Amino acid sequence: MTSKHDTTNIAELLMNLVPIQSTSYKTELMQKAIDNWLYHNDLGYTKDKYGNIYVTKGHADLYPTMVCHIDTVHDINNHVTAHKTSSDIIYAIDQSTGQQYGTGGDDKVGIAITMTMLKHFDNFKAVFFLDEEVGCVGSSKCDSSFFDDSTIVLECDRRGSSDFVNKIGSTRLYSKKFSKLIKPILKKWGRSECTGGITDVGEIARVNKVMTANMSCGYHNPHSNSETIDIAQVINTYNLCVDLFNLTIDKRYAYQSLSDRQESYGYTGRMYGGHFHNHTPRINPYYTNDKEESAEPMYFDDDLYEVDGLYEDNVVTSLPDDCPMCNQTELEYDEMTGEVWCYSCGAYLQAENLNSFQNEQNQSNKNDDRQGTFTFER
């Protein structure tokens, strides 16, 4: 259970982190803040060539491990201040305009929880990744051997307060046996397993045989100027993680991901449907052969289904026989997002368009041309 000190520490950390500006590819201020925090807490660290920050506290055979990312999607704004309501909701204000501004809770909440874990446990590992929001760039360049002595690896990088992500695209993050083991803890803290969007633990699962998971952690309306942080939900998430780490403290939970199609999860410039509040989707020049230069990066979004209520009234009523993009039969419905993932080609198909396709398919011969009735942005 969280101590009063932990509770106070998390709230103070968040209030201090929110004003620190750290957009993708411009994370120097957050890197410096983390460096200073580690120094003042007598925690040594190393950095890889990309700038990812690795921390190992204590001396043990095995370490509970947490990762987070230090970039946000918000433009650098040096006029942002953090505020807290009487109900412990953190919001940000742009003092130059008097208007609300995004807190960057995605993933400053993850940073605060990771820092608090480092103080809570005698033996612990953590990584602060750069540039997750533009396709997990930092974690894709990480030293995967760092996780060879991890018990499990957790990340807090999802909006809301109820999700516990067991799969990202076609990449399963942990086994069914592990799912049964942690079920009482998930129930205790009000969590349900679900499929999630791309984030760093998915990259780790591709390259290291360790069980990982992502989860909701108390930020809301991510990637928008109305983004807020619910401190009580952050503390709930912290408690959940402490319980999971304590349960698994003396054993490495190794797992070979069941996905043999993990390239479809990778960063090939695919856009996972829909639009972001602050960004126009475009091909990411860092991950494709596209030669068109972009003034700003494309942001991938684990929280896409929340944006503008895009999928609010759309439910997939039935799956087509095969994917309209590649004609393979490897389709799975994600009820959280109202979308369908194709294991074979990596397409994320929007519900309303997939239903339209299914209706046309049912009325036509299976040999008919199956194109042009769904949205798939690259």
Q: List, for residues 231-276, the tens digit of each pLDDT value.
A: 999 999 999 999 999 999 999 999 876 543 333 333 322 222 322 2
CA 80 remoteness from chain centre: 24
Residues 22, 27, 29, CA angle at the centre, nearest 5°? 80
- What's the number of domains the chain is made of? 1
Where is pLDDT greater, at 332 or 40? 40
When pLDDT is cut at 50, 70 and 90, the band that residue 344 belongs to is: low
Top-confidence residue, 81 or 304: 81
Q: Are 350 and 356 in contact (CB under 8 A)?
A: no
Report the distance separating Cα 112 and Cα 114, nearest Å.
5
Confidence of residue 360 (pLDDT cuts 50, 70, 90): low
Spell out the long-range contacts of 74-79 with Cβ–Cβ below 8 A and sequence spacing 24 or more: 74/21, 74/23, 74/101, 74/102, 74/104, 74/278, 75/23, 75/278, 76/21, 76/23, 76/26, 77/21, 77/101, 78/21
Residues 161-199: pLDDT tens digits? 999 999 998 789 999 999 999 999 999 999 999 999 999
- DSSP structure string for 71-92: -BSSPP-TTEEEEE-TT-EEEE
The answer on pLDDT for 372 being more than 50 is no
**Is 279 within a domain?**
no
Q: List, in sequence order, every beta strand (DSSP E) within 130-283.
A: 150-158, 163-168, 171-172, 192-196, 212-216, 219-220, 228-230
Residue 353 domain flag:
no
Q: What is the pLDDT of residue 178?
A: 95
> Could you list the residue range(s) of the whole structural domain that residue 64 is in?
4-247
Please give the single-letter amino acid code of residue 249: I
Q: What percent of the chain clears pLDDT 90, i.e. is strictly above it?
A: 63
Output the pLDDT for position 2.
55
* CATH number of 224's domain: 3.40.630.10
Tens digits of residue pLDDT in 297-334: 444 444 433 323 333 344 445 566 677 766 766 666 65
Stretch 361-372: mean pLDDT? 46
Identify whether 60 is part of a domain. Answer: yes
Token pair 């929280």: residue: 303
Q: Is 314 inside any structural domain?
A: no
pLDDT mean over 15-40: 97
pLDDT at 258: 54
Structural domain contains residue 321: no
Backbone angles phi, psi at 368, to 5 degrees: -65, 160
Average pLDDT, the chain: 79
Average pLDDT, stretch 342-351? 56
Give the per-residue pLDDT at 342.
62
pLDDT at 16: 97
The confidence score (pLDDT) of residue 294 equals 38
Residue 208 lies in a domain: yes
288/139: higher pLDDT: 139
Q: Nearest 5°: phi and psi at 2?
A: -65, 135
Whether residue 39 lies inside any domain: the answer is yes
Q: Which amino acid is at 175?
A: S
Does the residue 304 lie in any domain? no
